[in-house]
Amino acid sequence: MVNFRTPSKNRAVFLDRDGTLMDEVNFCDDPSKVHAIAGAAECLTELRRHGWLNVMVTNQSGIGRGLFTVAAYQAVNAELFRQLGGAIDATYFCPDHPDKETARRKPGTGMIEEAKRDYGIAIDESWFIGDKDSDILCGRNAGCRTILVLTGYGRNHRDCGPHFVARDIVEAAQIVIGETK
């Protein structure tokens, strides 16, 4: 877990990384391949303005598979955070191999539970935005409202039972703000 600031907020938007906040790059280990989704920085800033904590929750099995190191993961994140203008409040990652079923690896809710503990987040007032069925199931298992974005792998996961479907993170943020006014 990385804390960027200590917020006084108690509701969050949990965000997947690859395919949701940045273009999907299979097992991204190179900061030069990082391209934030167009409009992501602005919409995350808008979510903050409306009182949301932006928490990135990401499976990173490339570490567990030996494809890249934690340092490479952190370098990719640093570039993404730069492109997002510092609009991520905290990040949690799970390096576990998918063959290992763990509470932290999505669709498990361990990372959300850690954020809840660390920030006093009201999960029933929170959202989960992602591009895979494991993201939506994680959010649902935790008790969040969910939005599937059609970027990344989203088009292949339309039937995973999200509360909403959005074109991208920008439209997803508009849904969150519009549904909670």
CA distance 123 to 162: 16
CA distance 30 to 51: 33
- Catalytic residue chosen out of the listed positions 18, 89, 133, 135: 18
Q: Is 29 part of the annotated catalytic residue set? A: no
Residue 71 burial (C-beta neighbours within 10 Å; 0-12, 13-18, 19+): exposed
Tokens representing 53 are 């904590």
Q: Is 118 part of the annotated catalytic residue set? A: no
CA distance 5 to 90: 8
CA distance 163 to 117: 25
Cite the active site residues.
16, 18
